[in-house]
Amino acid sequence: MTTTLTAKKTPITVAYGDGIGPEIMDATLRIITAAGARLDIEKIEIGESVYNRGLSNGIEDSSWESLRRTKVFLKAPITTPQGGGFKSLNVTVRKTLGMYANVRPCASLAPYVATKHPNMNLIIVRENEEDVYGGIEHRQTNQVTQCLKLISRPGSERIVRYAFEYARANRRKKVTCFTKDNIMKITDGLFHKIFDEIAKEYPDIENEHWIVDIGAAKMADTPEAFDVLVMPNLYGDVLSDVAAQITGSVGLAGSANIGDHCSMFEAIHGSAPRRAGQNMANPSGLLHGALLMLSHIGQGEIAEKVHNAWLKTIEDGVHTYDIYKDGVSKQKVGTKEFGDAVIARLGQKPEKLPAAEYAKGGQMDISARASGAAAKKEHVGVDIFIDRPSGEPDEIASALRGFTVPGTKLTVISNRGTKVWPNGNPDTFWSDHWSCRFEADGGTFNTGHVVQLIEAVTNAGFEVVKTEGLYTFDGARGFSLAQGQ
Ligand code: NAD
């Protein structure tokens, strides 16, 4: 999707949600409208009232039409009803509308909010759909379970491109990639490779890669060393919570879920039902969601104006109850009065906190690009996984070599990724889940060989629990070697 700055109003869909939702949405919309946001607002109803009408997803069909029409969703928190039978609205919206990027800015506000990291100001861009979150899991033997980790080229390209476009549109200087490609050379290796490829298209932005373990340690210790971070789903899930927590102000954060067709912007907190209807709640989390939205739709100059007025309000000690502190705060205000205070400061910049900077009329081009030409794929073998509760690697190997499937040969047996035959180490521990690799013996390999091998392995008395094809792509190996191979 390409978004450009125009004087035209951008249609957006707004849901006021439950609990404190209506109050914080009202304050948020008043602030951004007063700052000059050019928006054409369509209201939809979501959450408790819709669940109570018997819709298990918490959203009406007509609301989907609005979301597909406007493609931009500013959402207040909702209350998820207790008890079974209800589905998470967030997960439903994210999955249905293919929101592949989760974006969470994490900035500290010291000394107004206590933190060990007063100079922290980073953004985590997390891939939202792939990795182990397909939830494709199997138990294949008594002892061994597995979860499939899927990383695709198009999925990685669009998240990495999003991170660089976000950096450019928001005047960020560096994008850092975290992976574990020293171990997962094929999956995380692809993510890293694509990061390096796309980084070349953005010479104005610094780029770097860290192995996720030491990178996470560095981020927890010295978060000010990072700017924009991009990473696969699981690392992003864990580290975006770590980053939000160490700012000291989880309650003030917003987040965006970005898709090719539709994007959703919200606070990270919930509907705080106990605070509802009392003009107490802090609208800052949702306001930050709205800032991400304004940047996304090309109204970065409005986002900058609002962000700086908000920083000045915090700096002036005008605080809602949740961050009010004697000696630091000057005035305890309600939701509405906080909104008024931000509006009164539009056009001002903070004096002590660093001012926010967004690209004016920023244009983010996150349109899908054609992936590189398809590589030549050749079938070169198969891993046949067997369930064998007892037995020694050498016994299994001799049984598997007791038959012949012409054109194939047994090359290695591994257990949980470690080679146990030939020449296994007697100290290696093994479970009941064995991978037996058969490769072409000189000539070519095909699916017919796989079928004959499954039959022969079964006839030799083994239980086949799965197979994985072995392929090369333009001659490069598309499968891992066992440890010790
Ligand atoms: P919560 O985030 O609503 O509240 C946690 C604590 O933070 C409470 O003490 C609350 O008073 C306070 N708080 C939260 N937001 C605040 C704000 N803006 N200003 C001042 N104080 C604030 O979490 P919860 O109590 O676990 O959940 C309440 C409901 O929200 C549940 O039904 C939950 O399912 C739902 N929820 C919705 C979303 C969403 O819509 N995205 C996210 C999380 C939770």
**Is 79 in the same domain as 120?**
no
- In this structure, what are the phi and psi dihedrals at residue 467, rounded to the nearest 5 degrees? -130, 155
- In this structure, what are the phi and psi dihedrals at residue 271, rounded to the nearest 5 degrees? -90, 0
CATH number at residue 338: 3.40.718.10
CA atoms within 13 A on the CB side of 201: 15
Structural domain contains residue 352: yes
Q: Are strands 463-473 and 433-440 parallel, antiparallel or unpaired?
A: unpaired
Number of domains in the chain: 3
Structure tokens at 91: 């997960």
**What is the CA(319)–ligand 1 centre distance, in A?**
18
Residue 388 and residue 392: Cα distance in Å, rounded?
Answer: 10
Q: What distances in angstroms separate CA 364 from CA 11, 56, 144, 169, 294, one per listed residue?
A: 17, 35, 45, 6, 12
Of 247, 267, 290, the one marking the end of a domain is 247
**Is 87 in the same domain as 17?**
yes
Burial of 110 (0-12, 13-18, 19+ CB in 10 A): middle
Q: Which atom of ligand 1 is nearest to the CA of 269?
A: 2
Measured from the CB, is residue 8 less than 6 Å from ligand 1? no
Distance of CA 428 to the CA centre of its chain: 36
Task: Note the pTM of the prediction, 2 decimals.
Answer: 0.87
**What is the CA(445)–ligand 1 centre distance, in A?**
57
Report pLDDT digits (tens) over 385-425: 999 998 899 999 999 999 999 999 999 999 999 999 999 99
**Is 301 in the same domain as 359?**
yes
* Predicted local confidence at residue 424, as pLDDT: 92
* Predicted local confidence at residue 3, as pLDDT: 46
* Predicted local confidence at residue 2, as pLDDT: 43
**Residues of the chain scoring pLDDT < 50:** 1-5
**Is 345 in the same domain as 262?**
yes
**What is the CA(44)–ligand 1 centre distance, in A?**
21
Structural domain contains residue 109: no
Q: Are strands 331-332 and 121-127 parallel, antiparallel or unpaired?
A: unpaired
Measured from the CB, is residue 322 less than 6 Å from ligand 1? yes
Which residues neighbour 315 within 8 Å (Cβ) at sequence distance 6 or greater? Answer: 112, 350, 351, 352, 353
Structural domain contains residue 3: no
| Residue nearest (by alpha carbon) to ligand 1 atom 26 | 270
**Is 161 in the same domain as 261?**
no
Residue 444 and residue 271: Cα distance in Å, rounded?
Answer: 61
Measured from the CB, is residue 432 less than 6 Å from ligand 1? no
Structure tokens at 484: 């010790």
Q: DSSP letters of 305-331?
A: HHHHHHHHHHHTTEE-TTT--TTT-SE
Residue 88 and residue 86: Cα distance in Å, rounded?
Answer: 7
Structural domain contains residue 104: no
Structural domain contains residue 33: yes
Residue 42 and residue 321: Cα distance in Å, rounded?
Answer: 31
* Predicted local confidence at residue 96, as pLDDT: 86
Residue 297 and residue 12: Cα distance in Å, rounded?
Answer: 10
Measured from the CB, is residue 78 less than 6 Å from ligand 1? yes
The H or E element that residue 219 is part of is: helix 212-221
| Cα angle: 168, vertex 227, 286; to 5 degrees | 80
| Residue nearest (by alpha carbon) to ligand 1 atom 12 | 272
Q: What distances in angstroms separate CA 374 from CA 108, 132, 370, 371, one per listed residue?
A: 45, 25, 11, 8
pLDDT above 70 covers what percent of the chain? 97
Which residues neighbour 234 within 8 Å (Cβ) at sequence distance 6 or greater? Answer: 131, 132, 133
**Is 453 in the same domain as 404?**
yes
Q: What distances in angstroms separate CA 403 from CA 419, 434, 441, 453, one per listed residue?
A: 22, 18, 14, 9
**Is 121 in the same domain as 237?**
yes
Residue 313 and residue 170: Cα distance in Å, rounded?
Answer: 22
Structural domain contains residue 252: no
| Residue nearest (by alpha carbon) to ligand 1 atom 37 | 270
CA atoms within 13 A on the CB side of 53: 11
Distance of CA 101 to the CA centre of its chain: 5
**Is 359 in the same domain as 262?**
yes
What are residue 466's DSSP bridge partners?
A: 385
Q: Give the 3-state secondary structure of residue 159.
A: helix
Note if the bond before 111 is cis, omega within 30 degrees. Answer: yes
CATH number at residue 399: 3.30.70.1570
Of 336, 364, 392, the one marking the end of a domain is 364
Q: What distances in angstroms separate CA 336 from CA 22, 305, 341, one per listed residue?
A: 11, 19, 9
| Residue nearest (by alpha carbon) to ligand 1 atom 36 | 270
**Is 15 in the same domain as 48?**
yes
**Is 228 in the same domain as 314?**
no
**Is 356 in the same domain as 383?**
no
Structural domain contains residue 371: no
Q: What is the 3-state secondary structure (H, E, C) of 350-414?
A: CCCCCCCCCCCCCCCECCCCCCCCCCCEEEEEEEEEEECCCCCHHHHHHHHCCCCCCCEEEEEEE
* Predicted local confidence at residue 205, as pLDDT: 98
What are residue 210's DSSP bridge partners?
A: 178
* Predicted local confidence at residue 368, as pLDDT: 66
The residue type found at 275 is: R
Structural domain contains residue 370: no
* Predicted local confidence at residue 371, as pLDDT: 67
Cβ atoms of 232 and 191 closer than 8 Å? yes
Domain enclosing residue 421, as ranges: 377-477
Residue 162 and residue 2: Cα distance in Å, rounded?
Answer: 12
**Is 354 in the same domain as 396?**
no
